[in-house]
Structure 1
Amino acid sequence: MAQQDTIERIDSGCHDTTDGGADDHSRNVEMIKAGTLATLVENLTRHDRLDAAFNRAFLTTYTYFTSGSELLGHLIDRFDNTQPPSTDSTEIEQWSTQTKPLIRLRVVNILRQWLEHFWSEPKGHDTDELLRTMRAFVQRVASEPETPTQQLDIIIQRRLSGQTYTKKSHPSISNPPKPILPRKLDKLQFMKIDAKEIARQLTILEAQTFSNIQREEFLHKNWQKKTTPLVAPNVRCLIRHSNQISNWVCGAVLAEPDLKKRAQVVDHLVNVASTCHQLQNYSAVISILSGLESAPIYRLARTWAMVTERSCNMLRPLQAMIVSAQNYQAYRETLRVAVPPCIPFLGLFLKDLTFIEDGNPALTSDGLINFHKYTMLATTVQEVQRWKEAPYCLQPVPELQEYLAKQLHSAVELHEMWDRSCELEPKGRGLSNRPRDLYTPTGGMSASMVVACMVLDD
């Protein structure tokens, strides 16, 4: 089919079709911006071109604009559509021998992808009925030529039995670095644990939760909902973990009454943050900076005056990475060039998803599904998901992880630490009186990212 015919066919139901840029021009790919559900399903199962990006976006976000039963109905109708496009004998022959078999194969493949990778239907009677309807369809068409349905039938049976498909991450081929252990694992003290090993164990803890996050947890702003059971348990767990790190950092500094030792705690925490940065655990980096730049710590002028020059020099690039200029361009660029494994800070992604959901209508002025909105949502979700493609090659130390988990869970909220900060340094911040000005905290810039994007009120 000619390119012009393709555009006209899409325009008949998706008349907001636009080109996707120079790269897409070179591949003859158009970006679907809007359309009816029937035409979107038609594009999902085209015989003449496989648009993998469109298919991922559709299957990632279909719950926004249709139900599972309605989608299945459209796919079955698409499979059963045996009406040739014309009465010309040559075109009828081409339809029967080439076009129709390819469409049917596409429908079967889309059903398989849906079930294996994009299934978002809640457990319950209605979903079981949907699966039984799907299986009845598969059994009905099993004898059709060039329609491989055996694997699809197996997947449906697995879904009916409650089994889920889990993508296995590729094991690392390298050996993990040997843990740096303190002399007494039974009597752990923060300052006697190597900063590099603290960063490693924090990364292992966060990576476990991050790898468990399911795609649907990012959709429909599920992390904000307090349903029972929770619909985004792993996102909420990572949010809580990030906030606990910030609280723990603040509490660790304020727990030391001696000025010199308090500055040494800051030095130690900076080393932890620097190693997290090297591990590409940007979630922990931002959480640690959030604690160091919180109001109770920011005001400790005498403490900051005693922080070593080395620590101050290490802090500057970390602070520069998360500066808010141009919508956090520096941080976004850091993520863009990073190679997994990596743990991104979720706050910015949740902010992006919220902006896309709230700032774009579900339907266009013509009453079509605003698929451009769902493409943006899917692209953002897929960007987060790709960081899970490779696991960290680090060795867990149960004693250290238990110690850190206990410290994080017992940390008090930041707003409860102000009085303690005033007790340690009654005069508070006075920049003009500081002996030296090696490093100036931002006074809560990164903390505002956490609070604005990730705060939980339960």
Structure 2
Amino acid sequence: GEHKRGKDFGFFPASPQTPLQQWGEEVEDGVIYSIVLQRVRKERLSKDDHGTPECSFVQYRTCKRRVLRAATLPRLVDWLVTANAEGDLDYMSSFLATYQAFATPVQVLELLLPPLGPDNPRGWEHPIERGKGRSRLHLSSGCRKVLHVLEFWLQHHPEDFWEPPKHPSLQKVLHFLYQSAPDSQACALAEELLQAHKEGEKEEHRRGTAEAVGSYEEALALLSFPVDEVAEQLTLIDADLFRAVRPFHCLGCVWSQRVKKENQHVSPSVRATVAQFNAVTSCVIASVLGDLTLRTAQRAHLLEKWIAIAQRCRALRNFSSLHAILSALQSNSIYRLKRTWAAVNSSIFRKLSQIFSEDNNHLNCREILLQVKKKELYKELAQSRHSAPTIPYLGTFLTDLIMLDTALPDFVEGNLINFEKRRKEGAILSQIQQLQESCKGYNICPNPSFHVAFHHQQQLSEEQSYRISRVIEPPADSCPSSPKLYRSLTKRFSSGRIIWEGCANWVGGQTGNGCCKHVEVITHNLSPASFCPPSPVKNLPVSQPRTRPPVALPLPSSTSTERGTESRIIRVSMNSEHGSGNCYRSIVITSQDRTTAVVQRALQKHNLEGDSPQSYQLLQLLGDGRSNGVIAKLLIPDNANAFYAMKPTDLHDFLLCPKKGGTSSPG
């Protein structure tokens, strides 16, 4: 039959460059390329008199592309200039997002910028015109590519050039551009950025010397504000903090260093979001438990108001405060109030709690974020509007990044920088940047009275909140017979595990819980004899315990948490007298690892390289006996194959304990 001419629909374009398969590798001096086959869409064929293509098919051709896999730093910078021409289209964004894991801005600039002579800069031709008092140069192809890199760098990573007070890297870029391309877009961006940085210094000084707004006497009760007002003001605070996050601070190799005493100031932009998360959970717990004179119905009303605030945060796509509120309501000191919860209409709470369910590595939360991004993408294409603002729960990204940093090495054969790892990290950081850009869409006016109330909210320590909870509803009346939903949702709190990692002595001097690239998580000592269920008031927050590597991470096929595979990721926490704190570290074990080797790697991760592995025993934490404070432990024998000796569970959690009297565990 006659074949009808087709149409090319712009909303669902076929990907013009989709990798079909790996072809092989090319190795040169200081660089390894992966060779991939890609399909590339052919140019549109000639059209007839009516402007319709003569052919109704979309045609592709297959070609080979080189994708840089590993290289030395100089070769990485060389590829930065030529990657787009070679078809390695995501290289520049991945490199500029992650290079500070292995280099400094100064090192990259030294390799990127050609040296300039007094008369004729190398690689740049003589001036051919003059205008506005500046030379205008005819640029060679290679120099235009350098300008393109600088323009992209200045536009997408301006924070890299924040080096007050003199900003030497930015001054170096400006010096180069003034001599080579003063009329370029890159030069204009650099000048604007320098001015913005100078104004930023003045603003920081003003904030540092400003008096606190209001006083304690003027502070209103937080819940005296309407539900919408509380949710909107929390969203405004979260949006400002999230936009200020430097994506580089989320990298696992950076964020995981904060637990060391000498690195207490590492990743300040991420720490600020952690502090805000904890402040919200603290406010929720204190507002519910702070007044012992409240009747059950009155306390239930407070719970319902916080649930309504959480629902409004969900409508505002503020998943950070949403998670903080739910975490507080699921903390043991509030969750155990059986009579109070019985008076609450908890249907909305149940639905909201499912967003952060730990099932399938928080698949619900990930799908919601992905769904929001897709919907807004099509809306933007159709209406040319910006994506709706969204504040994610940063702990999810931090956890993914820390797991990725654990699973993949920094260097590969020949001591070359493993750039495949950096591409995967760059893809996650790109998602963070897209969401940061979307947060510009919030249009909320600050309410100074709310900020005074929020910062003067009564604070309760973990011990205080639990004691007050027992006074409100004594233990005999609040045995763990609350709804099963609450038990499952509070599992991570009653076990003392929270994915956000934190540094002890950072918040209120308490041991922090936390993770997030991005991670080791601070845990509580759990002993059956002295079990006190923790709350997140003074602990660093974060996502829930991981049951398997992040879904979004394309980890190597040899790494898996399922029984019967060649390797899996486990989490090992310490129980010792060392001052490093009780925190877990993620390590990869294989089917060839004996217990002693696993213990040795765990000690290295906990900065205890000098300790003998024979002085420690490895215990696997089992079961769900958290309702009575008892967690079963399985001793892994010293001479066993740890991979096969461990019991198959959803959570591979281990405890490393010093042996009593230095004796060996039974074989």
TM-score (norm 2): 0.53
C-alpha root-mean-square deviation of aligned residues, in Å? Answer: 3.9
Deviations 1:348-389 (A, max 9, x none): 222222222333221112322100111122222221121122
Which of 355, 369, 377 is the equivalent residue of 1:335? 369
Rate the CA distance shift 1:80–1:195 in 2: closer, same or farther, 3 A. same
CA positional deviation for 1:151: 4.5
Q: Distance in 2 between matches of 1:449 and 1:26?
A: 56
- Aligned mates of 2:358, 2:284 — CA distance in 1: 22
Render the CA deviation track for 1:267-299: whole Å, top value 9, x for unaligned: 111111111111111111111111111111121
1:442 and 1:23 mapped to 2: Cα distance?
Answer: 49
Q: How far apart, in 1, do the equivalents of 2:198 and 2:279 lie?
A: 31
Q: Distance in 2 between matches of 1:72 and 1:153?
A: 15
Q: Secondary structure at the match of 2:362?
A: helix
* 2:141 partner amino acid: L
Q: 1:235 to 1:449 in 2, by over 3 A?
A: farther
Find 1:292's aligned residue among 329, 332, 336. 329
SS of match in other structure, 1:417? helix
1:252 and 2:287 correspond: yes
Any idea what SS the aligned residue of 1:338 has? helix
Given candidates 271, 278, 293, the residue that maps to 1:236 is 271
3-state SS, counterpart of residue 366 of structure 1: helix
- How many matched pairs? 403
Counterparts of 2:422 and 2:199 in 1: how far apart (Å)? 24
Identify the structure with the greater strand proportion.
2
Between 194-203 and 260-269, the greater mean CA deviation after superposition: 194-203
Kept in 1: contact 2:318–2:390 (CA 8 A): yes
User: Of the candidates 479, 487, 494, which is equivalent to residue 430 of structure 1?
Assistant: 479
Q: SS in structure 2 opposite 1:451?
A: coil
Looking at structure 1, the residues matched to 402 and 492 of structure 2 have their Cα atoms a distance apart, in angstroms, of: 19
Tell me the equivalent position of 1:202.
234
1:117 aligns with 2:165: no
CA offsets per residue over residues 193-221 of structure 1, 9 Å max, x none?
32222211211121122222233332442
1:197 and 1:125 map into 2 onto residues whose CA distance is 39
Higher mean displacement: 265-274 or 437-446 = 437-446
Which stretch shifts more, 58-67 or 32-41?
32-41
Cα distance in 2, alignment partners of residues 416 and 48 from structure 1: 63
What letter matches 1:101 in structure 2? Answer: S
Amino acid at match of 1:260: A
Give the direction of change, closer, same or farther, for the CA distance of 1:303–1:199 in structure 2 (3 Å limit).
same
Unaligned runs of 5+ in 1: 83-99, 167-185
Give the counterpart letter for 2:231 in structure 1.
A
**CA, structure 1 residues 189+49, in 2 after alignment: closer, same or farther (shift >3 Å)?**
same
Shift of the alpha carbon at 1:32? 3.2
1:82-101 map, 5 Å: 101=140
Distance 2:341 2:420 in 1: 48
Matches within 5 A, 1:132-211: 134=173, 137-138=176-177, 142=180, 150-153=184-187, 163=197, 188-211=220-243
- The answer for the alignment partner of 2:432 in structure 1 is 384
Matched letter for residue 382 of structure 1: S
What is the SS of the residue equivalent to 1:344?
coil
Which secondary structure state, in structure 2, belongs to the residue aligned with residue 15 of structure 1? strand
Matched, 1:453 2:500: yes
Using the TM superposition, give the Cα deviation of residue 401 of structure 1 relative to its aligned residue in structure 2, in angstroms.
3.2
Alignment partner of 1:53 is 2:90: yes
Alpha-carbon separation, structure 2, partners of 1:449 and 1:58: 37
Partner of 2:488: 442
Mapped to 1, the partners of 2:40 and 2:281 lie a distance apart of 42
Q: Does 1:347 align with 2:395?
A: yes
Q: TM-score, normalised by structure 1?
A: 0.75
**Please, which of 14, 34, 40 is the counterpart of residue 17 of structure 1?**
34
Match of 1:221 among 254, 266, 275: 254
Deviation at 1:51, TM superposition (A): 4.3
Q: Highest relative contact order (Cα 8 Å, sep 6+), 1 or 2? A: 1
What is the CA–CA distance in structure 2 between the aligned matches of 1:56 and 1:211, rounded to whole Å? 19
Residue by residue over 1:388-441, the C-alpha shift from the partner in whole angstroms, topping out at 9 and shown as x without a partner, is: 22321333333233222322xx42233431111111111253355x7xx59535
Distance in 1 (CA, whole Å) between partners of 2:436 and 2:142 is 33
The 3 A distance-change label for structure 1 pair 315 and 384 is same
Cα distance in 1, alignment partners of residues 411 and 497 from structure 2: 32
Partners of 2:498 and 2:313 lie apart in 1 by: 21
Shift of 1:102: 2.2
Instruction: Summarize the Cα distance change of 1:18–1:327 in structure 2 as closer, same or farther, 3 Å threshold.
Output: farther
- The CA deviation string for residues 11-65 of structure 1, in whole angstroms up to 9 with x for no partner, is 5354352549989998966653322333322332127356442101111111222
Offset of residue 127 of structure 1: 6.3
- Structure 2 Cα separation of the partners of residues 359 and 136 of structure 1: 41
| Change in 2 beyond 3 A, CA 1:22/1:422 | farther
CA distance in 2, matches of 1:441, 1:195: 27
SS in 2 for 1:440: helix
Question: Distance between the aligned counterparts of 1:325 and 1:16, measured in 2?
Answer: 38
Equivalent residue, structure 2, for 1:373? 421
Aligned to 1:323: 357
**In 2, are the aligned partners of 1:363 and 1:369 still within 8 Å (CA)?**
yes
CA contact (8 A) 2:162 2:197 kept: no
Give CA-to-partner distance per residue, 1:289-334, whole Å, 9 cap, x none. Answer: 11111111121111112212xxx11112222111112221111111
1:191 Cα shift?
4.9
User: Corresponding residue for 2:410?
Assistant: 362
Deviations 1:241-278 (A, max 9, x none): 10111122122221243212111111111111111111
Amino acid at match of 2:149: I
